[in-house]
Amino acid sequence: MGNYERFELDFVERTIALISQYNQLLEANDIPFKQQYNYTLLINCLLGLIVLPRTRTSSYIPNERITSSFKREMGLASSTISPNIHHLRDLIGKLRNSIAHFDFKVASNDENFLIDEIVFFDTEQGVEVEYARFHAAELFDFLIYYSDLLITNLNQYKNSPPG
């Protein structure tokens, strides 16, 4: 077990590495489908990739404008984001609140109850207001893309020596 030299940065990098290691484990072993918990791991890792960095490093979260081409670049070609959310930092803030307050649910498109979508919402006056619907297959790509942007900003701005 190692120490965290740069806690926020190391935690994000290690969380991504954890997901990659798990995927490699699945590929290297013949693990039955019912014992594969890839989406459970991804949902757990949302805490380490969205909640913790948003709480500790909010000023380093990229603030790119969300356009249809940027959505595709982030790996969200089929996912939907409310048109009221204009910037990545706003989306991350909303995701942080949903995850921290368990204001999300998984949706299945058939009777097999496989995770097809993760729906994020705000609860306003007892009513769920959906603001993002991620296709499950796109969640990992989005997390990798976002984490890379965050790591780049942390390396460039937070961890650079004063000059």
CA 77, chain centre distance (Å): 15
With contact defined as beta carbons under 8 Å apart, do 120 and 104 qualify? yes
In this predicted structure, the answer to whether residue 162 has a pLDDT above a threshold of 50 is no
Q: Out of 55-59, 101-105, 123-127, 157-161, which region has the weakest mean confidence (pLDDT)?
A: 157-161
pTM equals: 0.84
The band of 124, judged by pLDDT with boundaries at 50, 70 and 90, is: confident
User: What is the residue-averaged pLDDT of the chain?
Assistant: 85
Convert 80-114 to b/e letters by CB count within 10 Å (16 or more is b). ebbeebeebbbbbbbbbbbbeeebbeeeeeeeeee
According to the model, what pLDDT value does residue 89 have? 93
Structural domain boundaries in the chain: 7-158
Summarize the confidence of residues 63-67 as an average pLDDT. 94
CA-closest candidate to residue 19, choices 143, 110, 118 = 143
More confident residue, 29 or 132: 132
Q: What is the mean pLDDT of residues 85-89?
A: 95
Percent of the chain surpassing pLDDT 90: 38
The sign of the dihedral angle between the CA atoms of 141, 142, 146, 147 is negative
